[in-house]
């Protein structure tokens, strides 16, 4: 029969083993639970757990705007962003931001991504991470119907155009030699054009087509266009894992026809390729 001293030592050792096993099990379970519930947030660097925070204008029809009557935020970019978030198993939260402040907000960490027809160009590729494109469309010079003084981008030299100063369209107008009047977006630009206060505005062809569809009496015309340009989601350079996941989601949405369906809804055709 063991001595009382040896018996106490054996019991203590057994208790220690049980405690170690229990602690290991708890640690294992805790780590597994954390990785299951928080891995995407940790990996993607999301601002809010389980939520993709998306910056968009909310005033750029048909890409991002408020539906008459319901006031609901809708549009091509809005629905593509929603589809991507759903594919990633994330909620989506939109933050409406004026275009001229949208990149500053991204850099300040106010949102995870911009979904607002961000044209792919070398300057943006250098400063930001861009997804694979989800829109392909040319830029156009829009003038008042009957104006024959502008038939090419070169004819913008010395003319006055209305542009948002941080847009790709501003760059196109400036490079053509235009005098650029600053505006907040398409709605203000087209109003100035129709009033005869500017000679032209440069914008996306899809925006123009949507406008004349909604305003069939508009006295506007396309004077010139570029080769098709591509638009993508924009991220900061730190969001590499999120960009990879978004690209994979876009590939799936392309393959299963979701992007084509959204394009048909807003433009009558697939505009994603």
| 37 found inside a domain | no
Q: What is the DSSP string of 22-66?
A: HHHHHHHHHHHHHHHHHHHHHHHT-SBTTEEEEEE-S-BTTTBEE
For residues 170 and 187, membership in a common domain is answered with: yes
Q: Which pLDDT score, from 0 to 100, does residue 40 have?
A: 56
For residues 173 and 209, membership in a common domain is answered with: yes
Burial of 227 by CB count in 10 Å (0-12 exposed, 13-18 middle, 19+ buried)?
Answer: exposed
For residues 125 and 237, membership in a common domain is answered with: yes
Q: Which pLDDT score, from 0 to 100, does residue 31 have?
A: 32
Q: Are 211 and 228 in contact (CB under 8 A)?
A: no
Q: Are 220 and 193 in contact (CB under 8 A)?
A: yes
Q: Which pLDDT score, from 0 to 100, does residue 41 have?
A: 62
For residues 219 and 181, membership in a common domain is answered with: yes
| 29 found inside a domain | no
Pairing status of strand 229-235 against strand 113-119: antiparallel
Task: Please count the structural domains in the chain.
Answer: 2
Pairing status of strand 179-182 against strand 160-163: parallel
Q: Each residue's pLDDT tens digit in the chain (273 positions)?
A: 444 444 344 444 444 433 333 333 333 333 333 333 345 567 899 999 999 999 999 999 999 999 988 999 999 999 999 999 999 999 999 999 999 999 999 999 999 999 999 999 999 999 999 999 999 999 999 999 999 999 999 999 999 999 998 888 999 999 999 999 999 889 999 999 999 999 999 999 999 998 998 899 999 999 999 999 999 999 999 999 999 999 999 999 999 999 999 999 999 889 999
| 161 found inside a domain | yes
| 46 found inside a domain | no
Q: Which pLDDT score, from 0 to 100, does residue 5 have?
A: 41
Bridge-partner residues for 203, per DSSP? Answer: 140
| 8 found inside a domain | no
Q: Are 210 and 172 in contact (CB under 8 A)?
A: no
Q: What is the pTM of this model?
A: 0.73
For residues 260 and 127, membership in a common domain is answered with: yes
CA–CA separation, 148 and 169 (whole Å): 21
Q: Are 92 and 81 in contact (CB under 8 A)?
A: yes
The tokens 């590939």 sit on which residue? 251
| 245 found inside a domain | yes
CATH number of domain containing 190 = 3.40.190.10
For residues 152 and 259, membership in a common domain is answered with: no
Residue 140 has which token pair? 């156009």
Q: Which pLDDT score, from 0 to 100, does residue 18 have?
A: 37
| 7 found inside a domain | no
Range of the domain at 216: 139-226
For residues 129 and 243, membership in a common domain is answered with: yes
Query: String of b and e for 166-205 (b: at least 16 CB within 10 Å)?
Result: ebbbbbbbbebebebbebebbebbbebbeeeebbbbbbbb
For residues 72 and 123, membership in a common domain is answered with: yes
| 3 found inside a domain | no
CA–CA separation, 179 and 196 (whole Å): 15
Residue 126 has which token pair? 């250098």
For residues 115 and 83, membership in a common domain is answered with: yes
For residues 152 and 88, membership in a common domain is answered with: no
For residues 241 and 113, membership in a common domain is answered with: yes
For residues 222 and 170, membership in a common domain is answered with: yes
Residue 114 has which token pair? 């911009």
Using DSSP's 3-state secondary structure scheme, residue 147 falls into coil
């Amino acid at each position: 029969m063991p001595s009382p001293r040896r018996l106490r030592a054996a019991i203590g050792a057994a208790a220690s083993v049980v405690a170690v096993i229990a602690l290991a099990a708890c640690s294992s379970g805790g780590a597994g639970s954390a990785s299951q519930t928080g891995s995407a947030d940790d990996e993607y660097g999301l601002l809010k757990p389980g939520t993709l925070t998306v910056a968009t204008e909310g005033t750029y029809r048909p890409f991002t705007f408020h539906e008459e009557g319901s006031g609901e935020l809708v549009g091509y970019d809005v629905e593509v962003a929603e589809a991507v978030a759903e594919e990633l198993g994330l909620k989506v939260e939109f933050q409406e931001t004026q275009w001229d402040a949208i990149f500053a907000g991204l850099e300040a960490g106010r949102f995870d991504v911009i979904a607002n027809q961000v044209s792919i160009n070398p300057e943006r590729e250098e400063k930001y991470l861009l997804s694979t494109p989800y829109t392909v469309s040319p830029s156009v010079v829009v003038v008042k119907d009957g104006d024959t003084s502008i038939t090419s981008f070169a004819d913008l030299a010395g003319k006055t155009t209305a542009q948002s100063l941080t847009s790709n369209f501003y760059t196109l107008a400036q490079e053509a030699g235009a005098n650029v009047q600053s505006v907040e977006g398409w709605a203000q630009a087209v109003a100035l054009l129709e009033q005869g206060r500017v000679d032209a505005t440069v914008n996306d062809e899809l925006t123009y087509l949507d406008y004349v569809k909604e305003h069939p009496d508009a006295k506007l015309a396309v004077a010139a266009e570029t080769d098709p340009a591509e638009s993508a989601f924009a991220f900061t350079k730190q969001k590499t894992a999120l960009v990879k996941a978004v690209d994979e989601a876009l590939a799936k949405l392309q393959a299963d026809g979701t992007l084509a369906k959204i394009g048909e809804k807003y433009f009558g055709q697939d505009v994603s390729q």
